[in-house]
């Protein structure tokens, strides 16, 4: 992923004199004032950090699972089932198997499934590679719709792995976690009568990347262009991208590009407010990083206000260690629960 991860770094300088204590008190008052003013792009943290490194470990929120409509073992089972296919880069046999598995899963649960295929040139040798976005529609006749999406391709190689950057990359968190959440939500969406129709979209080619100069977001760009130019009788009111949501030590800060406009700010806040209402403290209501991801084409080309729900503090990012054991049933289930309750309350 082309991720300029700016990790928030809090630096507290020590102050010795009473004069400076006074200054600090005034500063604190100013901060309180800022906190009630809506975020603007200038509020994006400027301090650069190492992407993929956690700044601090947090205590996981305890949840009374008997009260939660999400099946955490089933959702983790989905993540393991996807990873058991092996690597799933664009155009690979693993990707073909994943498409077949998902198509069957969603059709059995009552959704309308459609493949959106297109061809790109392989970045290294130019041979044609088929890409497929998978579209899953619930209540397809509703004209006001919400888009929930995730990329389902995996990076060809674990190129940040300190030992074997040409080894096997499974993409449990970076790839399968978003897929698993949507597979679980499918058990609920057919039965729910929501104000909005819901579409899941699985993007191919998010990171069909062999060198840093190779283009990202091939699937989401194709989807966004096709949406923008199509004559259609529906529109997406909101979009939510789920990426890297399975980390066993989950901390979900807001993402800077997801609070750029008034519409995306409103959307992002409503999701984090839902988490607060449920007591899921893994959703931390402040900006923690800036990430370039599939939500950019959706916001910029398709003009769908879209938020990226992403935990970018993941030490195993783009390494051979991104495996199911680094993810947890509880993290996946908390994200699925927040998304489900958010959808139910959407007006």
Contact between 311 and Zn ion per CB under 5 A: no
Q: Does the protein bind Zn ion through residue 1 (CB under 5 A)?
A: yes
Please classify residue 65 by burial: count the beta carbons closer than 10 Å to its beta carbon, then call 0-12 exposed, 13-18 middle and 19+ buried: middle
**Site for Zn ion, residues 317 to 346, rule: CB under 5 A:** none
Q: How far is the CB of 137 from Zn ion (least distance, A)?
A: 27
- Nearest C-alpha neighbor of 247 from the set 49, 79, 7: 79
The CB-nearest residue to Zn ion is 1
Q: Quickly tell me which residue has 């990226």 as its tokens.
A: 308
Shortest distance, position 302 Cβ to Zn ion, whole Å: 22
The site string for Zn ion over 192-211 (x = CB under 5 A, - otherwise) reads ---------------x----
Total residues binding Zn ion (CB under 5 A): 3
Cα–Cα distances in angstroms (integers) from residue 44 to residues 51, 53, 103, 108, 124, in the given order: 16, 19, 39, 43, 35
**Is there a contact between 323 and 288 (Cβ–Cβ < 8 Å)?**
no
User: Which CB, 139 or 295, lies closer to Zn ion?
Assistant: 295
Question: Using the rule CB under 5 A, is 161 a contact of Zn ion?
Answer: no
Query: Smaller CB distance to Zn ion: residue 174 or 184?
Result: 174
Nearer to Zn ion, 137 or 320 (CB): 320
Residue of 174, 199, 294, 311 interacting with Zn ion (CB under 5 A): 174
Nearer to Zn ion, 272 or 314 (CB): 314
Minimum CB distance to Zn ion smaller for 207 or for 247 = 207
Least gap, CB of 30 to Zn ion (angstroms):
38
Q: Confirm or reject binding of residue 170 to Zn ion (CB under 5 A).
A: no
Buried b (16+ CB within 10 A) or exposed e, 94-110: bbeebbebbbebbeebe
Q: Which residues contact 204 (CB under 8 A, 6 or more apart)?
A: 90, 95, 131, 132, 133, 151, 152, 153, 218, 219
Q: Which of 147, 160, 131 is nearest to 322 (CA)?
A: 160
Residues lying near Zn ion in the complex (CB under 5 A) are found at 1, 174, 207
């Amino acid at each position: 992923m082309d991720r300029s991860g700016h990790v928030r770094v809090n630096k507290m300088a020590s102050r010795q004199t009473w004069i400076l204590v006074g200054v600090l008190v005034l500063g604190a008052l100013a901060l309180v004032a800022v906190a009630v003013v809506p975020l603007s792009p200038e509020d994006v943290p400027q301090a650069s950090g190492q992407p993929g490194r956690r700044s601090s470990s947090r205590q996981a929120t305890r949840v009374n699972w008997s009260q939660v409509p999400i099946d955490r073992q089933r959702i983790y089972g989905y993540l393991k089932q996807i990873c058991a296919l092996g690597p799933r880069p664009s155009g690979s046999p693993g990707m073909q198997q994943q498409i077949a598995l998902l198509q069957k899963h969603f059709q059995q649960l009552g959704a309308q499934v459609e493949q959106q295929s297109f061809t790109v040139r392989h970045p290294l040798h130019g041979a044609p590679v088929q890409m497929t976005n998978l579209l899953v529609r619930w209540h397809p006749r509703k004209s006001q719709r919400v888009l929930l999406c995730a990329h389902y391709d995996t990076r060809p190689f674990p190129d940040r792995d300190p030992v074997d950057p040409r080894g096997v990359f499974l993409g449990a968190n970076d790839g399968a976690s978003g897929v698993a959440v949507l597979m679980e939500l499918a058990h609920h969406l057919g039965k729910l009568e929501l104000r909005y129709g819901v579409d899941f979209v699985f993007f191919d080619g998010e990171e069909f990347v062999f060198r840093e100069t190779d283009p990202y977001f091939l699937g989401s760009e194709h989807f966004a262009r096709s949406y923008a130019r199509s004559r259609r009788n529906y529109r997406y009111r909101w979009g939510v991208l789920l990426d890297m949501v399975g980390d066993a030590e989950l901390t979900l800060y807001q993402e800077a590009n997801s609070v750029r406009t008034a519409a995306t700010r409103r959307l992002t806040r409503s999701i984090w407010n839902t988490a607060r209402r449920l007591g899921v403290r893994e959703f931390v209501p402040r900006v923690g990083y800036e990430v370039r991801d599939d939500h950019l084409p959706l916001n910029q080309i398709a003009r769908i206000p879209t938020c990226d729900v992403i935990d970018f503090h993941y030490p195993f990012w783009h390494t051979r260690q991104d495996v199911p054991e680094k993810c947890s049933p509880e993290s996946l289930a908390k994200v699925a629960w927040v998304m489900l309750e958010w959808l139910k309350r959407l007006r």
